[in-house]
Amino acid sequence: MESEIVISGMSGRFPESDNIAEFSQNLFNKVDLLTEDNRRWEPGLYGLPRKMGKLKDISKFDSQFFGVHPKLAHVLDPQTRILLELTYESIVDAGYDPVELRGKNVGVFIGNSSSESDEFYCCDPKKITEFSLTGSGRIMLANRLSYTFDFKGPSFVMDTGCSSGALALYEAVRAIQSNECEAAIVGAAHLCLKPGAALLLNRSNVLSDDGVCKPFDAAGNGYARSEAIVALLLQKSYVSRRKYASIVHIKTNTDGFKEQDIAFPSAAMQKRLIKEVYDECKLNPSKVSYVEAHGTGTTVGDPVEMSAISEVFCPGRENPVLVGSVKSNMGHSEPASALCGLAKLVITMEKSLIPPNLHFYKPNPNIKALVDDQVRIVTNPTPLEGDYAALNSFGIGGVNVHAVLKSNTTERKPTQLEELPIPQLVLYSGRTKEGVQYLFDYLQNEVPPREFFALLHKSVYSSSVKKPYRGYKLLVKDQEVSEIKVY
């Protein structure tokens, strides 16, 4: 359908994972991405949990490439720096040269809850400069992207706590549907640079003492904090050059008043939202093969969410509904968590295989649907049966978001070099010779879908002066035929 909105490009940084491919490999290999080290602060400081999910390296940035003044680069929020990189990467991943989108009506929608670097740069009055406001202010998480890439559409940051990234996705979809913008960058960012926020959460009894996230398990005792930054490009289907998945429908609501507390989730409102999503898009919930849940491992949140999920998805099914939460693998990245779940869904749909949950051994006895085997947690790589999958998210203030996605059913084979019926020519251009060679080496081991080669060739014909290295490679078994030159 021409009006269909698709995810056409995606990029991300996750704990111990510099990109989507590495993240995918870690998920399927059951790697626990929570680590104990002093990259942020000494483990156990102030009695905090010793383990946390952290990005590998946040110290580097090519300020010249992005046109950022060196003095500004020193006070630029690392969240902004990485969002600039990921926005570029997601556009390229969609098959575009960023130059092609300059001056276009592209929106930017970012989910974020804090800028700890802003607090740091402004704590000493003597160190505040004319660059501090435009360098570390939270508004720049979105506006800096619009400025750098010359996007003319809506541009703002939103904060609904843990559902911030999901709400950014909702706002972007709505803006494209209403023709406020022709495409959108959706992003979310979360870095844990200072122990203050962790201390606040720990004293609120929401963090796991052992620094392990155990969603839906009887031993669940809170969540482990984590960092993540994600960006994706949304477009209408008919103009996209790549289609990871279609967003069938997405909707949000808010709990409103609750007798218990503002932070206590509402099963009734989550159930209402989920039901409305499927009623409005006229899709039977039984068609959904997998639900990526919010699933933090807290004693209150998991039973409430699973109650809503089971009441909508379980009726009329012959087999249990499959559920998982990426927080079991990487911890809870708070405002970025929903887009991490979305990245996992894209990985699932691309491979037609659901990555496994970690730390699930015994069902939480307070989750009846689990005990009765109406819902099943995915603990081993499991084939995705069907085209539809769902994403559920809710925030501490009561903002709920639910989305249903449909996979791209394009034939994705062959996947091995020897399966190619004839040699495949590959053209590519990049900033460095090493970058072009890296891609060629990658293709020697894993052959992507044929549509991917068209995107690579497009990069050569539309490449800007920032990508002067051009090369070709002939994919043929047991031979090395390639050349790279600078122009």
Is 213 one of the annotated active-site residues of the chain? no
Measure Cα distances from 194 to 41, 74, 81, 117, 428 in Å. 8, 18, 18, 9, 41
| 255 close to 356: Cβ distance less than 8 angstroms | no
CA distance 74 to 229: 20
Cα–Cα dist 481/487, whole Å:
20
132, two tokens? 């501090």
Closest CA to 346 of 246, 443, 423, 260: 246
DSSP 215: T
Burial class (CB in 10 A: 0-12, 13-18, 19+), 43: middle
Q: What span, in angstroms and rounded, lies between the C-alpha atoms of 423 and 322?
A: 40
Catalytic annotation present for 294: yes
Of 338, 358, 398, nearest in space to 190 by CA: 338
Question: Among 332, 340, 359, 402, which one carries the catalytic annotation?
Answer: 332
- The type of residue at 176 is I
List the alpha helices (DSSP H) in 360-449. Answer: 368-371, 433-445
**Given 181, 192, 213, 294, which residue is catalytic?**
294
Is residue 92 within 8 A of residue 149, CB to CB? The reply is no
Residues marked as catalytic: 162, 294, 332
